[in-house]
Homo-oligomer: A and B are copies of this chain.
Amino acid sequence: MADNLFGHHISKQFNAELEDIRHRVLAMGGLVEQQIADAIQSLVEGSSGLAQRVKDNEIKVNALEVALDEECTQVLARRQPTASDLRLVIAVIKTITDLERIGDQAEKIARIGEQLAELERPRNQYMELQHLADGVKAMLHEVLDAFARMDAEAAVRVARRDEIIDNEYEAVMRQTVTFMMEDSRSIKRSLEIIWAARAMERIGDHAKNICEYVIYLVKGKDVRHISFDEKEAAARSDR
């Protein structure tokens, strides 16, 4: 590494390192998006090949998390970044934890798919789960986009959608519990649907966390534990 070079070249090398980190976060995000898509398709179609791909990607996602954490630690130790560079490194350290946990949830959904494949399929082909999954997949895609473009306002818009996901999740829950009460033979299947819905709702929560890190990265403001309106004000503010 070009640790001992000075001036322009150090900065170029340092920039390249930060760029590399950004690219790898987006690559990790892409893998996790693929995991969600595969997991839900595997669940809806009962296809075990896709479930295996989710597991294979989990190994890659875990390895990327560890490698990126190491890379960030190296940058902190060697480059001693400040201001927006430091915020990028901190935001990445946090983001990759949530990405990895989204991957865990995708794997859970794939496993639930394997359980459901052994049970009778409902007439609606798990439409409600497909819908929820589409919502959280879009959230993740758009927050990764906001991260790539350093767009804090887009990140707030994505974060707001977590409420819609939560409402949809509650609706799936109510409907599923009603089915369970009406027909106790449906309890096993209903519980699997509940687990899958909950995993998706958690993916939405993790995506929302990443939105907050993007706002922190761009604006330097910690917007956790405050209202959406306050987050929006922070995202619109000049620094």
Q: Does A26 contact B (CB under 8 A)?
A: no
Count of chain A residues with a beta carbon within 8 Å of a chain B beta carbon: 28
- Least Cβ–Cβ distance between A177 and chain B, in angstroms: 7
* A224 in complex: contacting residue of B65, B83, B87, B191, CB < 8 Å: B65
Name the segment of A11-19, A132-140, A179-187 touching the other chain.
A179-187
Give chain B residues whose Cβ lies under 8 Å from the Cβ of A86: 73, 76-77
CB nearest neighbor in B for A191:
B177
Q: Does A172 contact B (CB under 8 A)?
A: no
Q: Does A57 contact B (CB under 8 A)?
A: no
CB nearest neighbor in B for A85:
B77
Number of copies: 2
Q: Does A97 contact B (CB under 8 A)?
A: yes
Flag if A66 contacts B224 (CB, 8 Å): yes
CB nearest neighbor in B for A202:
B202
Q: Does A80 contact B (CB under 8 A)?
A: yes
Most-contacted residue by chain B among A63, A177, A225 (CB, 10 A): A225
Q: Does A44 contact B (CB under 8 A)?
A: no
Give chain B residues whose Cβ lies under 8 Å from the Cβ of A76: 76, 86, 90
Q: Does A70 contact B (CB under 8 A)?
A: yes
Flag if B66 contacts A90 (CB, 8 Å): no
Give chain B residues whose Cβ lies under 8 Å from the Cβ of A70: 222
8 Å CB interface, A204-239 against B: 222, 224-225
Given A184-B184, A187-B180, decide whether A222 and B66 contact each other with a Cβ distance below 8 A. Answer: yes
Q: Does A82 contact B (CB under 8 A)?
A: yes
Give chain B residues whose Cβ lies under 8 Å from the Cβ of A97: 94, 97
Known A66-B225, A177-B191, A184-B184; further 10 A-B contacts with Cβ < 8 A: A65-B225, A66-B222, A73-B86, A77-B82, A77-B83, A80-B80, A93-B94, A94-B97, A97-B97, A180-B180
Interface residues of A (CB under 8 A from B): 62-63, 65-66, 69-70, 73, 76-77, 80, 82-83, 86-87, 90, 93-94, 97, 177, 180-181, 184, 187-188, 191, 222, 224-225
Cβ contacts A to B, 12 pairs, < 8 Å: A63-B225, A76-B90, A77-B83, A77-B86, A90-B93, A93-B93, A177-B187, A177-B188, A177-B191, A180-B184, A180-B187, A184-B184
